[in-house]
């Protein structure tokens, strides 16, 4: 529906599909505003069981944190 210019797709900047990576002229990204004109935002959290901590888990958490920080800049 979005590609046919007949609908909306609500997603966040971390979503896989966005106008930045689709490169289609009919798809536009628009910021969502809440009451009073403030931007709508979402908090993300990462949890795992402490006894299941591995070097790979910790590296994934660091990588995710770096990628989210890039979006905030």
Q: What is the DSSP string of 28-43?
A: -----B-GGGPBP---
Per-residue pLDDT of the chain (73 residues; tens, 9 = 90+): 677 777 777 666 545 555 455 666 767 777 778 788 888 777 777 788 889 889 998 898 899 888 888 877 6
- pLDDT of 48 reads 84
- Name 65's Cβ contacts closer than 8 Å, sequence gap at least 6: none
21, 14 Cβ separation under 8 angstroms: no
Please work out, in degrees rounded to the nearest 5, the angle formed at the alpha carbon of residue 61 by the alpha carbons of 48 and 68: 125
Per the DSSP assignment, residues forming a β-bridge with 33 are 39
Predicted pLDDT of residue 12: 63
At 44 the pLDDT is 74
Dist CA 73 CA 70 (whole Å): 5
pLDDT at 55: 92
């Amino acid at each position: 529906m979005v590609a046919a210019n007949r609908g909306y797709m609500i997603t966040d900047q971390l979503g896989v599909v966005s106008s930045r990576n689709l490169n289609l002229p009919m798809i536009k990204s628009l910021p969502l505003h809440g009451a009073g004109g403030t931007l709508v935002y979402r908090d993300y959290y990462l949890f795992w069981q402490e006894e299941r901590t591995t070097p790979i888990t910790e590296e994934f958490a660091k990588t995710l944190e770096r990628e989210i920080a890039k979006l905030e800049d």
